[in-house]
Amino acid sequence: MELVLIGTGHVAHVLGKEWKAKGHRITQVWGRNPERTAALASLLDARPVVALHTLSVTADAYIIAVADVAVAAVAAALPPVQGLVLHTAGTVSLNTLAAPGRQYGVIWPIKMIRKSMDRLGVCTVVVDGNTPETLARVTVLARELSAQVTEAGDEQRAKMHLMAAMVSNFTNHLYDLANQYGTAENIDLRLFQPLIEATAAGIAAQQPADQQAGPAFRGNYDTLERHRALLQSYPELLRVYDTLTNSILTRFGHEKLP
Ligand SMILES: NC(=O)c1ccc[n+]([C@@H]2O[C@H](COP(=O)([O-])OP(=O)(O)OC[C@H]3O[C@@H](n4cnc5c(N)ncnc54)[C@H](OP(=O)(O)O)[C@@H]3O)[C@@H](O)[C@H]2O)c1
């Protein structure tokens, strides 16, 4: 397929590299910054384009991978293209892309994407389309990114986006908090790598609640107070600790912290 990438950020880089590796041709790259646009176009053997309205109209798909707030304005400024017009956002409505006669859809990879990644790797890709025929075409393109493709409308996709924040952004933030604490207390986060991996792998085989462990799960208030004493000079971390501890305590039928 001939693909046009709109945007020069993390997602444009990685999807571009992935589709190119799968044998598709990235014909043009548009970006608002000329240097970044030229650099990504050169990486993907594509032509850089500076004015949206001058994009070729004959590509098979136009992938709008710009900041969420800019998707609508970019979609509205496209010339009357024949191919699919897609965005890559978890929370932007499908109809943001609507235009007379246009086939439009969503291709949202559920992954934290950074332009330094050579390939996308394993992830679920969520798709949507304005007609069943469009959806089928979007699905073909998504299957080039991942074997795990699922359909969802705006409302369901927004809920998935929220869940992604919980299972990825929040857990990663906890790793960051633990790492900051460990750095201050001279304890290497890498010691916990096997524990982190075993916890994540465990939920493939059982419900998260069924593998819960720890002092809050057991209602062991003495240990909880010892942990809290260690956090007296880390007020922000103590606040997070108390919130999560109370959540686990009540989930497993115990009283909240006094
Ligand atoms: N990164 C992820 O983990 C991830 C995962 C799945 C989906 N997504 C979605 O993918 C899309 C792109 O995300 P990203 O992470 O690639 O973002 P990003 O790295 O921040 O890149 C955003 C791109 O949008 C451009 N842009 C920003 N404001 C603009 C405006 N007003 N008009 C035109 N262009 C504008 C930026 O141009 P400049 O370089 O000139 O600022 C840049 O090319 C978003 O919809 C995001 O929700 C992201």
On whether both 148 and 176 belong to a single domain, the answer is: no
Same structural domain for residues 125 and 11?
yes
Yes or no: say if 45 and 21 are a contact pair by the CB < 8 Å rule: no
Looking at the structure, tell me whether residues 80 and 170 fall in a common domain: no
Instruction: Examine residue 121 and state whether it is found in any structural domain, yes or no.
Output: yes
Per-residue pLDDT at 234? 97
Among 152, 187, 206, the domain-final residue is 152
Q: Does a structural domain hold residue 257? A: no
pTM comes to 0.92
104-110/84-87 β-pairing: parallel
Residue 258 located in a structural domain: no
Specify the residue with its C-alpha closest to ligand 1, atom 15. Answer: 10
DSSP state of 95: G
Q: Tell me the C-alpha to C-alpha distance, in Å, between residue 13 and each of 2, 43, 232.
A: 16, 9, 44
Q: Which residues of the chain have pLDDT under 70?
A: none
Q: Which of 117, 132, 152 lies at the terminal end of a domain, its last residue?
A: 152
Please give the share of the chain, as a percent, with pLDDT higher than 90: 100
- Between the CA of 258 and the centroid of ligand 1 the distance, in Å, is 45
Report how far apart, in Å, the C-alpha atoms of 114 and of each of 14, 28, 207, 249 are: 7, 21, 30, 36
What is the domain count for the chain? Answer: 2
The predicted structure's pLDDT at residue 191? 98
Confidence (pLDDT) at 174: 98
Do 169 and 72 have their domain in common? no
Domain end, chosen from 152, 176, 203, is at 152
Ligand 1 proximity of 161 Cβ (cutoff 6 Å) = no
CB distance 185 to 176 below 8 Å: no
Q: Which domain holds residue 18?
A: 2-152
Q: How far is the CA of 171 from the centre of ligand 1 (A)?
A: 23
Say if residues 170 and 158 touch (Cβ distance below 8 Å). no
Ligand 1 atom 42: residue of nearest CA = 9
Question: How much is the mean pLDDT over the chain?
Answer: 97
